[in-house]
Amino acid sequence: MQKTILLRIFIALICMILVAACGSYMHQPMQSRRAILGPETPAKKILLDLPKAQEKIVVAVYKFRDQTGQYKASETGANWSTAVTQGATTILIRALEESGWFIPIERENMANLLNERKIIRTSRAQYEGGDQNNESLLPPLLFAGVILEGGIISYESNILTGGAGIRYFGADASGQYREDRVSIYIRAVSSANGKVLKTVYTTKSILSQEVSIGLFRYVKSKRLLEAETGFTYNEPSEICVTEAIEKAVQSLIIEGIQDKLWNLKNPKDTTSVAFNNYLEEKRTNYKTDPLGRVLEMNNRGKLVLGISAGSNTFMGDFTSGELRPRTSLSIGAALNSKIYIDSETGYHGLMVQKKVDDYSMFSDLSVRYVFLPFDKITPYLSVGMGFDYNRNGVGLSADRFLPQIKGTFGLEYMVRKNMGVSLSSGWNYYLSDRFDGARNGKYNDASWGISAGVKFYFFKLRQKVSYF
Q: Could you give the domains of the chain? A: 43-70+83-120+143-286 (3.40.50.10610), 301-460 (2.40.160.20)
Cβ atoms < 10 Å from Cβ of 354: 8
> Cα-flanking dihedrals φ and ψ of residue 273, to 5°?
-60, -40
pLDDT in tens, 372-408: 888 888 999 999 999 887 765 555 444 567 888 999 9
Element (H, E) at 196: strand 196-220
Pairing between β-strand 57-61 and β-strand 102-105 as defined by DSSP bridges: parallel
Which percentage of the chain shows pLDDT scores above 90? Answer: 41
CB–CB of 346/306 below 8 Å?
no
| Average pLDDT of every residue of the chain | 84
pLDDT in tens, 399-440: 567 888 999 999 999 999 899 999 999 998 888 776 666 666
Query: What's the CA gap between 234 and 237, in Å, rounded?
Result: 8
pLDDT given at position 26: 58
pLDDT given at position 388: 84
pLDDT in tens, 263-276: 999 988 888 888 89
Query: What's the CA gap between 433 and 317, in Å, rounded?
Result: 9
Cα 70 off chain centre by:
24
pLDDT given at position 173: 87
> What sign results for the dihedral spanned by CA atoms 254, 256, 262, 267?
positive
Cα–Cα distances (Å) from 111 to 108, 117, 304, 343, 462, in that order, read: 9, 10, 70, 77, 60
Position 318 pLDDT exceeds 70? no
223-233 average pLDDT score: 84
Burial of 50 (0-12, 13-18, 19+ CB in 10 A): buried
Per-residue confidence band for 36, with pLDDT thresholds at 50, 70 and 90: confident
Query: What's the CA gap between 307 and 221, in Å, rounded?
Result: 60
Highest mean pLDDT pick, 6-20, 174-188, 276-290, 314-328: 174-188
User: Following DSSP, what letter does each residue of 347-386 receive, concatenated?
Assistant: EEEEEETTTEEEEEEEEEEEEEEES-TTSSEEEEEEEEEE
215-233 average pLDDT score: 82
Burial of 390 (0-12, 13-18, 19+ CB in 10 A): buried
Position 10 pLDDT exceeds 60? no
pTM beyond 0.75: the answer is no
> What sign results for the dihedral spanned by CA atoms 186, 191, 194, 195?
negative
Q: Which of 281, 381, 388, 291 is nearest to 344 (CA)?
A: 388
pLDDT given at position 356: 67
